[in-house]
Structure 1
Amino acid sequence: MRQPWIRSARYDGLLILAPPFLALAVVLLLPAPYRSTARMPLLAWVALVVLIDVAHVYGTLFQTYFDPLKRQQRRTLLWVVPLACYAAGVALHSVGGMVFWRALAYLAVFHFIRQQYGFLRLYGRQEPRDAGSWLATALVYYATIYPLLYWHLSPARNFNWFIDGEFVQVDWPAGRLVATVLYVGLIAAYAAWELRRWRRTRTLNVPRNLLLGGTLVSWYAGIVWFNGDLAFTLLNVVSHGIPYLALVWNGGPTPASARRAPRRGAWAGRYGLLVFLAAVALFAYLEEGLWDGLVWREHGTVFGWFQHLPTVASPALLMWLVPLLALPQSTHYVLDGFIWRRSK
């Protein structure tokens, strides 16, 4: 069968499908303490959190506000979403800081899960539906939901999504066992269906299976297998951020007859890729600098100039400031539910 690549075997393989496997290989090479403790080297934090995790958020700009055509087509959406996100953030933070961070964490989790489902739909777009096709959808969802269930049903872990205590956690071994049995059973059912399909048709959807394998690897290893902040961050961030940036740079999903979508606006031209990467990195650095200078005060050596800013400690001011600083993230999560939709 002709494989349903988004752009090409080389492009998809290196930038969309390989990241979780490469991240796992790096984690396996880490010294043991980094796989099972909350230790996070500063350089690793900068590379993973600032230059990939936060930076990928700003990739959305190139599919929305920085694209003249799409900015015109989605004018109302691009105004309403950030205003609504900010209003909701202020309302949540007025109830309590933890309420805000918990809501944002669960919104982020939903966004991460849906990205995997979106890639699954892209890689299954040429396949006819049959009685077992639902198994692929069920597996991509449960490959992400099971590790989250394990996290929620375990004692405190050595990592978090945003801040400690954001997820509701209850130590329930029986619940973890039931979730694990369902996990193994679903993997077995999918493997059996795929084997039967291959025997019948002698075709194998390579990118779909690599995507599912990478999802299983990154989420299980990052949350269940290892219990370290660096291991979790590396598997979580690399597996999500790099494929997202690759999809944005490709211009989104395109038909086979158009391997490269036409570029418009700030990233057009000979140095478009350099502009793209430099822009998202710069925006990420500025955002994290403001967070560090105004709120966290944790990485002064990285954000030296921002340490001259006054630390904001007043709950009344934080209620307005924190949702504003988090607005790029919340807007990214919501807009992404709209900008990648296709009629087919």
Structure 2
Amino acid sequence: MPMPWIRSPRYDGLLILAPPFLALLVVLGLPAHYRSTAAMPLLAWVALVVLIDVAHVYGTLFQTYFDPIKRRERRTLLWVAPVACYVVGVVLHSLGGLLFWRVLAYLAVFHFIRQQYGFLRIYSRQESPAPGRWLATALVYYATIYPLLYWHFSPDRNFNWFVDGDFVQLDWPAGRLVATMLYAGLILAYIARESYLWHRKRTFNLPRNLLLAGTLVSWYVGIVLFNGDLAFTLLNVVSHGIPYLALVWNGGPSRPDAPAPPRRGAWAGRYGLSIFLGAVVLFAFLEEGLWDGLVWREHGSVFGWFQQLPTIANPGLLMWLVPLLALPQSTHYVLDGFIWRRR
């Protein structure tokens, strides 16, 4: 059968399917210290958190507010989503800063999981119905859920999602064992089905299987196998952020051998890619600079000018400020539940 690429074997292979495996190679080459501690070099933090993780959030702008047609088609959604996110954020933060970060962390996790499911749906869109097709969906979900369960049942992780304590954790060995057994069983069942389909019908969906393998690798190695902040961040961020930016740049999935959807607005034209990448990096730098200058004060050597801003420590002011600074992320999570839907 023809492979259901989003754009082409080269584009998908390099920018959507390869990132988890490339990140794994980097992690395996790290000194053992970075695979088992909370140590995070400054340059790695800038490259991973600012230039990929935060930057990819602003890719949503090019599928919404910066696209004149989509802006007109989704006018109500595009103003309701940020307003609702900000109002809910203020209410949550008024009830407690940790509660705000906990809800945002679980929303982020849901967004990360759904992205993998979305790619699975794209890469399965040309398949004929066959017995056991549900196994792919079950595996892509559990490939992300199992490491999260392991994280929740192992309170000694050297990393967090946003802030310390944002996940509810307890030490439950029995829970880890049951979750692991289900994980192994599901993988074996999926492999058995794929082997059967190859043996009987000579069908093998290469991009779908690479997507599932990359999901298994990035989530298991980054959370379960290793216990280091750099290893987790590298696998988590690279595997999520780069494919997302690649999907945004392509404009979504297209028919096999068809050109990518046309770009509209500021990123169309000869210098579109430079504008696209420059804009998301600039927005990411400004956002992180504001966070560092007003709240965190952790990376003054990177955000020197922002250190002139006053540090906000008053709980009453933080209640309004923190949800505002986090608004690009929360809006990104919500909008992504709508803008990629296809029949």
TM-score normalised by the chain length of structure 2: 0.99
Task: Indicate the residue corresponding to 1:19 in structure 2.
Answer: 19
2:237 paired with 1:244: no
Task: Please report how far the alpha carbon of residue 130 of structure 1 lies from its aligned counterpart in structure 2 after TM superposition.
Answer: 1.8
2:121 paired with 1:121: yes
**Aligned counterparts, 1:271-282, within 5 A:** 271-282=271-282
Tell me, in whole angstroms, the C-alpha distance in 1 between the residues paired with 2:207 and 2:253: 14
Task: Please report how far the alpha carbon of residue 131 of structure 1 lies from its aligned counterpart in structure 2 after TM superposition.
Answer: 1.9
**Aligned counterparts, 1:58-77, within 5 A:** 58-77=58-77
Tell me, in whole angstroms, the C-alpha distance in 2 between the residues paired with 1:130 and 1:80: 41
Task: Please report how far the alpha carbon of residue 203 of structure 1 lies from its aligned counterpart in structure 2 after TM superposition.
Answer: 1.2
Is the CA contact (8 Å cut-off) linking 2:92 and 2:99 kept in structure 1? Answer: yes
Listed one character per residue, the Cα deviations across residues 95-147 of structure 1 (whole Å, up to 9, x for unaligned) are: 00000000000000000000000000000000012220000000000000000
Given residue 281 of structure 2, which amino acid in structure 1 is its aligned partner? Answer: A
Task: Please report how far the alpha carbon of residue 260 of structure 1 lies from its aligned counterpart in structure 2 after TM superposition.
Answer: 1.3
Is the CA contact (8 Å cut-off) linking 1:156 and 1:169 kept in structure 2? Answer: no
Tell me, in whole angstroms, the C-alpha distance in 2 between the residues paired with 1:304 and 1:255: 47
Task: Please report how far the alpha carbon of residue 256 of structure 1 lies from its aligned counterpart in structure 2 after TM superposition.
Answer: 2.2
Task: Indicate the residue corresponding to 2:107 in structure 1.
Answer: 107
Q: Identity across aligned pairs (percent)?
A: 81
* Matched residue SS, 1:266: coil
Is the CA contact (8 Å cut-off) linking 1:8 and 1:259 kept in structure 2? Answer: no
Task: Indicate the residue corresponding to 2:258 in structure 1.
Answer: 258
Is the CA contact (8 Å cut-off) linking 2:8 and 2:257 kept in structure 1? Answer: no
Task: Indicate the residue corresponding to 2:301 in structure 1.
Answer: 301
**Aligned counterparts, 1:153-192, within 5 A:** 153-192=153-192
* Matched residue SS, 1:331: helix
Listed one character per residue, the Cα deviations across residues 186-226 of structure 1 (whole Å, up to 9, x for unaligned) are: 00000001100111110100000000000000000000000
Aligned residues: 343
Is the CA contact (8 Å cut-off) linking 1:7 and 1:254 kept in structure 2? Answer: yes
Is the CA contact (8 Å cut-off) linking 1:37 and 1:229 kept in structure 2? Answer: yes
**Aligned counterparts, 1:302-321, within 5 A:** 302-321=302-321
Tell me, in whole angstroms, the C-alpha distance in 2 between the residues paired with 1:177 and 1:326: 36
**Aligned counterparts, 1:194-209, within 5 A:** 194-209=194-209
* Matched residue SS, 1:4: coil
Tell me, in whole angstroms, the C-alpha distance in 1 between the residues paired with 2:283 and 2:20: 25
Tell me, in whole angstroms, the C-alpha distance in 1 between the residues paired with 2:191 and 2:54: 35
Task: Please report how far the alpha carbon of residue 259 of structure 1 lies from its aligned counterpart in structure 2 after TM superposition.
Answer: 2.6
Tell me, in whole angstroms, the C-alpha distance in 2 between the residues paired with 1:11 and 1:201: 28
Tell me, in whole angstroms, the C-alpha distance in 2 between the residues paired with 1:299 and 1:10: 37
Given residue 7 of structure 1, which amino acid in structure 2 is its aligned partner? Answer: R
Task: Please report how far the alpha carbon of residue 257 of structure 1 lies from its aligned counterpart in structure 2 after TM superposition.
Answer: 5.0
Is the CA contact (8 Å cut-off) linking 2:152 and 2:170 kept in structure 1? Answer: yes
- Structure 1: gaps spanning 5 or more residues: none
* Matched residue SS, 2:266: helix
Task: Please report how far the alpha carbon of residue 261 of structure 1 lies from its aligned counterpart in structure 2 after TM superposition.
Answer: 1.1
* Matched residue SS, 2:154: coil
Is the CA contact (8 Å cut-off) linking 2:7 and 2:257 kept in structure 1? Answer: no
Is the CA contact (8 Å cut-off) linking 1:19 and 1:239 kept in structure 2? Answer: yes
Task: Please report how far the alpha carbon of residue 254 of structure 1 lies from its aligned counterpart in structure 2 after TM superposition.
Answer: 1.5
2:64 paired with 1:45: no
Tell me, in whole angstroms, the C-alpha distance in 2 between the residues paired with 1:240 and 1:30: 20
Tell me, in whole angstroms, the C-alpha distance in 2 between the residues paired with 1:74 and 1:239: 29
Task: Please report how far the alpha carbon of residue 255 of structure 1 lies from its aligned counterpart in structure 2 after TM superposition.
Answer: 1.8
- Structure 2: gaps spanning 5 or more residues: none
Tell me, in whole angstroms, the C-alpha distance in 2 between the residues paired with 1:178 and 1:295: 41
Task: Indicate the residue corresponding to 1:331 in structure 2.
Answer: 331
Tell me, in whole angstroms, the C-alpha distance in 1 between the residues paired with 2:64 and 2:145: 29
Is the CA contact (8 Å cut-off) linking 1:143 and 1:183 kept in structure 2? Answer: yes
* Matched residue SS, 1:147: helix
Tell me, in whole angstroms, the C-alpha distance in 2 between the residues paired with 1:156 and 1:95: 27
Task: Indicate the residue corresponding to 1:30 in structure 2.
Answer: 30
Tell me, in whole angstroms, the C-alpha distance in 2 between the residues paired with 1:86 and 1:71: 20
Given residue 261 of structure 2, which amino acid in structure 1 is its aligned partner? Answer: A
Tell me, in whole angstroms, the C-alpha distance in 1 between the residues paired with 2:79 and 2:258: 31
Is the CA contact (8 Å cut-off) linking 2:56 and 2:241 kept in structure 1? Answer: yes
Tell me, in whole angstroms, the C-alpha distance in 1 between the residues paired with 2:129 and 2:100: 41
* Matched residue SS, 2:261: coil
* Matched residue SS, 1:157: coil
Task: Please report how far the alpha carbon of residue 280 of structure 1 lies from its aligned counterpart in structure 2 after TM superposition.
Answer: 0.1
Task: Indicate the residue corresponding to 1:152 in structure 2.
Answer: 152
Given residue 195 of structure 2, which amino acid in structure 1 is its aligned partner? Answer: L
Task: Indicate the residue corresponding to 1:55 in structure 2.
Answer: 55
Task: Indicate the residue corresponding to 1:3 in structure 2.
Answer: 3
Q: Which runs of 4+ in 1 moved over 3 A?
A: none
